[in-house]
Protein backbone atom coordinates (compact mmCIF):
# COMPACT_ATOMS: atom_id res chain seq x y z
CA UNK A 1 0.00 0.00 0.00
CA UNK A 2 1.45 3.35 -0.96
CA UNK A 3 2.03 6.06 1.60
CA UNK A 4 -0.48 8.28 -0.18
CA UNK A 5 -3.25 5.69 0.08
CA UNK A 6 -2.50 4.91 3.72
CA UNK A 7 -2.46 8.62 4.65
CA UNK A 8 -5.76 9.16 2.83
CA UNK A 9 -7.22 6.10 4.56
CA UNK A 10 -6.13 7.41 7.95
CA UNK A 11 -7.67 10.79 7.19
CA UNK A 12 -10.90 9.17 6.00
CA UNK A 13 -11.20 6.84 9.02
CA UNK A 14 -13.83 8.28 11.30
CA UNK A 15 -15.71 7.19 14.40
CA UNK A 16 -19.45 7.08 14.00
CA UNK A 17 -22.03 6.24 16.63
CA UNK A 18 -24.22 3.28 15.75
CA UNK A 19 -26.88 1.45 17.74
CA UNK A 20 -24.23 -0.87 19.15
CA UNK A 21 -21.78 1.88 20.12
CA UNK A 22 -18.68 3.25 18.42
CA UNK A 23 -17.63 1.55 15.17
CA UNK A 24 -14.84 2.25 12.70
CA UNK A 25 -16.07 3.53 9.36
CA UNK A 26 -14.25 4.89 6.36
CA UNK A 27 -16.00 7.83 4.78
CA UNK A 28 -15.10 8.65 1.18
CA UNK A 29 -16.41 11.91 -0.31
CA UNK A 30 -18.16 11.57 -3.68
CA UNK A 31 -19.12 14.20 -6.24
CA UNK A 32 -22.30 16.07 -5.45
CA UNK A 33 -21.72 16.21 -1.71
CA UNK A 34 -22.52 12.53 -1.17
CA UNK A 35 -20.48 10.05 0.88
CA UNK A 36 -19.53 6.39 0.51
CA UNK A 37 -19.33 4.82 3.97
CA UNK A 38 -17.58 1.46 4.41
CA UNK A 39 -16.56 -0.55 7.42
CA UNK A 40 -12.83 -0.45 8.05
CA UNK A 41 -12.62 -4.17 7.17
CA UNK A 42 -14.44 -3.68 3.85
CA UNK A 43 -12.24 -0.70 3.01
CA UNK A 44 -9.05 -2.67 3.77
CA UNK A 45 -10.27 -5.59 1.66
CA UNK A 46 -11.07 -3.26 -1.24
CA UNK A 47 -7.63 -1.65 -1.02
CA UNK A 48 -5.94 -5.06 -1.01
CA UNK A 49 -7.97 -6.20 -4.03
CA UNK A 50 -7.35 -2.93 -5.85
CA UNK A 51 -3.61 -3.08 -5.28
CA UNK A 52 -3.46 -6.45 -7.06
CA UNK A 53 -5.42 -5.06 -10.02
CA UNK A 54 -3.62 -1.73 -10.36
CA UNK A 55 0.07 -2.45 -9.97
CA UNK A 56 2.12 0.49 -11.17
CA UNK A 57 4.87 -0.36 -13.63
CA UNK A 58 8.22 -0.60 -11.94
CA UNK A 59 10.87 1.88 -12.91
CA UNK A 60 14.05 0.09 -13.73
CA UNK A 61 17.26 2.02 -13.26
CA UNK A 62 19.11 -0.60 -15.36
CA UNK A 63 17.21 0.55 -18.46
CA UNK A 64 18.61 4.04 -18.88
CA UNK A 65 18.20 4.09 -22.65
CA UNK A 66 17.59 7.67 -23.75
CA UNK A 67 14.48 8.65 -25.64
CA UNK A 68 15.11 9.85 -29.19
CA UNK A 69 13.00 11.85 -31.61
CA UNK A 70 11.91 10.74 -35.09
CA UNK A 71 14.88 12.45 -36.78
CA UNK A 72 17.41 10.67 -34.57
CA UNK A 73 15.62 7.34 -35.02
CA UNK A 74 15.49 7.80 -38.80
CA UNK A 75 19.21 8.49 -38.87
CA UNK A 76 19.98 5.47 -36.69
CA UNK A 77 17.92 3.06 -38.83
CA UNK A 78 18.53 4.83 -42.16
CA UNK A 79 14.82 5.13 -42.98
CA UNK A 80 12.66 8.15 -43.80
CA UNK A 81 11.36 10.27 -40.93
CA UNK A 82 7.94 10.25 -42.57
CA UNK A 83 7.76 6.44 -42.29
CA UNK A 84 8.60 6.61 -38.57
CA UNK A 85 5.99 9.28 -37.90
CA UNK A 86 3.30 7.40 -39.86
CA UNK A 87 4.13 4.04 -38.21
CA UNK A 88 3.97 5.65 -34.77
CA UNK A 89 0.59 7.25 -35.52
CA UNK A 90 -0.75 3.88 -36.71
CA UNK A 91 0.62 2.08 -33.64
CA UNK A 92 3.00 -0.08 -35.66
CA UNK A 93 5.98 0.99 -33.57
CA UNK A 94 6.02 1.91 -29.87
CA UNK A 95 6.37 5.53 -28.89
CA UNK A 96 5.82 7.84 -25.95
CA UNK A 97 3.95 11.09 -26.40
CA UNK A 98 4.40 14.22 -24.34
CA UNK A 99 1.71 16.60 -25.52
CA UNK A 100 2.50 17.16 -29.17
CA UNK A 101 5.99 15.63 -28.95
CA UNK A 102 6.63 11.96 -29.68
CA UNK A 103 9.75 10.11 -28.53
CA UNK A 104 11.04 6.59 -29.05
CA UNK A 105 13.29 3.99 -27.46
CA UNK A 106 15.41 2.63 -30.31
CA UNK A 107 15.60 -0.87 -28.83
CA UNK A 108 11.79 -1.11 -28.52
CA UNK A 109 11.29 0.10 -32.10
CA UNK A 110 13.87 -2.41 -33.38
CA UNK A 111 12.18 -5.25 -31.47
CA UNK A 112 8.75 -4.25 -32.83
CA UNK A 113 10.07 -4.12 -36.39
CA UNK A 114 11.74 -7.52 -36.02
CA UNK A 115 8.53 -9.00 -34.63
CA UNK A 116 6.49 -7.56 -37.49
CA UNK A 117 9.02 -8.89 -40.03
CA UNK A 118 8.78 -12.35 -38.40
CA UNK A 119 4.97 -12.27 -38.67
CA UNK A 120 5.09 -11.27 -42.31
CA UNK A 121 3.38 -7.93 -41.63
Q: Quick one: CA torsion of 57, 61, 67, 72, rounded to 10 degrees?
A: -140
**pLDDT tens-digit readout, 50-73:** 777 666 565 554 568 899 999 999
Query: Can you give the residue ranges of every domain in the chain?
Result: 3-53, 70-118
Q: Burial of 27 by CB count in 10 Å (0-12 exposed, 13-18 middle, 19+ buried)?
A: middle
**Model pTM?**
0.47
Rounded to the nearest 5 degrees, what angle is found at the Cα of 118, between the Cα atoms of 116 and 121? 40
Q: Is the pLDDT of residue 5 over 60?
A: no
Which among 98, 91, 97 is positioned nearest to 112, based on CA atoms?
91
Mean pLDDT of the 107-120 span: 85
Amino acid sequence: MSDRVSVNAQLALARTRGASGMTDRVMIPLPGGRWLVLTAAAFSAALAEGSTLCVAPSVSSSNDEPLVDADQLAERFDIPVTWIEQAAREGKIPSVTFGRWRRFKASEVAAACQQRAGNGS
